[in-house]
Amino acid sequence: MLVGQSRYQHINEILNERLSKYSPLIAVHRGSPGANIIENTIPSYQAALAMGADMIEMDVVSSTDGVLYAFHDGNEYRLLREKENIKTMSSEEIDSLRYYNNIGHKSSYKVEKLENVLMFFNNGELFNIDRAWDIFPQLVEVFAKYPGWEKQALLKSPVSRRVLEFLSSHPVKYMYMPIVYSQADIDLVLSYKDVNTVGVELIAKKDSDDFYQAETISRIKDMNLFAWGNAITLDDKTPLFGNLDDDISITDDPSKGWGKMMEKGIDIIQTDWPAILHKYRAQY
């Protein structure tokens, strides 16, 4: 399948090449942390790629003085033992912090600057950029300093006219994936013809939701869009794709989670367990 509009295929070529080779693609949530490797750091992204990732989800925030970092705000106390939101800190303050590892010991790892990631991964690795929709103008200015990243970055946001108008007017047509809850969300996004929409992140909280149904997913794919499904388990109260998730795939049987997502036609599965999903995909 080719996703996106034909006039933007020079931007979408890496993504389309991966989609033509593998089904589904494996997107890894914040990299693969563990032990002394911390989420949203270069080592966690390296670990994810080594375990079979086709794409990495990276969160991006800005300091008060405009330096961009790979971090999911709201996790400051868990990871840094800080109560203040990182977006209220200067870059000097952020650079002074150190991560705490998986057993609660202070590590040598600092919060990763976005530019370090862009310099390190410059060989066609795909990154889904999350949490950055409020700073897209800053984000694309940084991307512009690193040729090639216009083909590696998949921007993500909730559906917002402000975001759509920015992407529509920007000269570089970065790949875009909205988070959608209804067909009306998709219709609004596709009404912006100058936005390089390549896929949709489907939110289906219940088995009865429209986006959970294979027929709906098939119609979405007929629009030259990929269908992204979340298998990640955030907690016991936040289903992202019905009852199909990492937990049931690991504790019971992968055919009951990831396998059903594949049967429904999901093109990209986001997971926290890339090695196990990679093994299952090879046997599917």
Annotate the chain with three-state secondary structure.
CCCCCHHHHHHHHHHHHHHHHCCCEEEEECCCCECCECCCCHHHHHHHHHCCCCEEEEEEEECCCCCEEECCCCCHHHHHCCCCCHHHCCHHHHHCCCCECCCCCECCCCCEEHHHHHHHCCCCCEEEEECCHHHHHHHHHHHCCCCCCCCCEEEEEECCHHHHHHHHHCCCCCEEEEEECCHHHHHHHHCCCCCCECEEEECECCCCCHHHCHHHHHHHHCCCCEEEEECCCCCCCCCCECECCHHHHHHCCHHHCHHHHHHHCCCEEEECCHHHHHHHHHHC
Q: What is the pTM of this model?
A: 0.98
Answer whether 201's CB lies under 8 Å from 179's CB.
yes
Average pLDDT of adjacent 10-residue blocks, the chain of 284 residues: 95 98 97 98 98 98 98 98 98 98 97 98 98 98 98 98 98 98 97 98 96 98 98 93 97 98 98 98 95
CATH of domain 6-59+122-283: 3.20.20.190
Position 77 scores a pLDDT of 98
Tell me the domain boundaries of the chain.
6-59+122-283
- For 219, other C-beta atoms within 10 Å of its C-beta total 15
Tell me, what's the pLDDT at 1? 79
Structure tokens belonging to residue 202: 């489907």
